Amino acid sequence: MSYPALRTFIAEEFAVDIPAAQLTDDLDLIDTGIVDSLGVLKLIAFLEGEFELTITPDELDADLYRTIGQIETMIDAKQMQAA
């Protein structure tokens, strides 16, 4: 599933100089420098608030938040677990 609020948050918080159309599902947010380690924490706080998710300590690994596609898959999985 696509989450426009996620893409908007990333564009407004981290990628202000990058057109939203360039924020593809497979763009590596970490390798490109769009999101750094502090940014991952901000992203996690956003996900918990916006999507009412609980991120566990073992889910704090930055590699889990490399792409918008990975993040959307994680949101879907967590919402399915909660249902």
Summarised one tens digit per residue, pLDDT across range 25-66 is 999 999 999 999 999 999 999 999 999 999 999 999 999 999
- Domain 4-82: CATH superfamily, name plus number: ACP-like (1.10.1200.10)
pLDDT at residue 29, as a whole number:
96
Smallest Cα–Cα separation from 8: which of 46, 45, 53? 46
pLDDT at residue 78, as a whole number:
92
pLDDT at residue 21, as a whole number:
75
Residue spans per domain, the chain: 4-82
pLDDT at residue 37, as a whole number:
92
pLDDT at residue 65, as a whole number:
96
